[in-house]
A and B are shown apart, each in its own frame.
Chain A
Amino acid sequence: KAGVTQTPRYLIKTRGQQVTLSCSPISGHRSVSWYQQTPGQGLQFLFEYFSETQRNKGNFPGRFSGRQFSNSRSEMNVSTLELGDSALYLCASSSGGGEGEQFFGPGTRLTVL
């Protein structure tokens, strides 16, 4: 089975712009979660989607949004980028109801200048 894939792998944007990141989960996985990883902060939970519905949301501003499509692929969008949004954005998928192991993608490295 192919693993979790994320595109693009690297992205450079300037403040005020918006960005869309994409995640394709492992085939058959319906739960997709997004995390922001920064040094010293660990993995900060952004949101989780399950069968096209947002099931959980972390403590991020409304500039961060996401969606999941019928094929379980997911996108996250960040509008009005700030310097502090520079981070590695990780996507993870999980089988069943999403309560088990999460399989992580390689991440998208976003740099905001």
Chain B
Amino acid sequence: AQSVSQHNHHVILSEAASLELGCNYSYGGTVNLFWYVQYPGQHLQLLLKYFSGDPLVKGIKGFEAEFIKSKFSFNLRKPSVQWSDTAEYFCAVRWTSGTYKYIFGTGTRLKVLA
């Protein structure tokens, strides 16, 4: 069965620290990849996406992610986090063939200490 795994459930960082959140998906087929963010009390919103082309994609607020096809991974990074990055981050994968399922990881709660 198709699945998406996020390795870190809770992350606590100090401001200016670097961030990397892991995301892996099960193999099988062509995929579109996404990272969504949910700030406290707000809707889920798109952070960045990858469909094809350059495997290093840049999103809003200084976030970027790298698609490594051989590792079925799509890790999220930010060189220097801010207190306002405190939120829950979700990796999502949409298979573009077969079942066309859109599956989310279980999320990572990031707390940035001022």
* A residues in contact (CB < 8 Å) with B: 3, 33, 35, 40-43, 45, 48, 55-56, 90, 92, 98-102, 104-107
Contacts and interface: CB of A to CB of B under 8 A. Distances in A.
Nearest to B6: A42
Interface size class of B (residues with CB under 8 A): 20 to 34
B90 A42 contact: yes
Interface string B86-109: 000010101010011111111100
Contacts of B44: 90, 92, 104
B45 A104 contact: yes
B28 to A, nearest CB: 15
A42 B107 contact: yes
A45 B2 CA distance: 12
Closest 6 CB pairs of A and B: A42-B106, A43-B104, A104-B44, A42-B107, A104-B43, A101-B46
B106 A40 contact: yes
Contacts of B90: 42-43
A104 B36 CA distance: 10
A102 B102 contact: yes
Interface of B: 6, 9, 32, 34, 36, 43-46, 49, 51, 90, 92, 94, 96, 99-107
Given A56-B100, A99-B94, A101-B34, A106 B106 contact: no
A45 B43 contact: no
B7 to A, nearest CB: 13
A93 to B, nearest CB: 12
Name the residue in A48, A98, A99, A106 with the highest tally of chain B Cβ atoms < 10 Å from its Cβ. Answer: A99
Contact of B104 (A42, A55, A56, A106): A42
Given A42-B107, A55-B100, A56-B99, A99 B43 contact: no
Contacts of B106: 40-42
Contacts of B49: 100-101
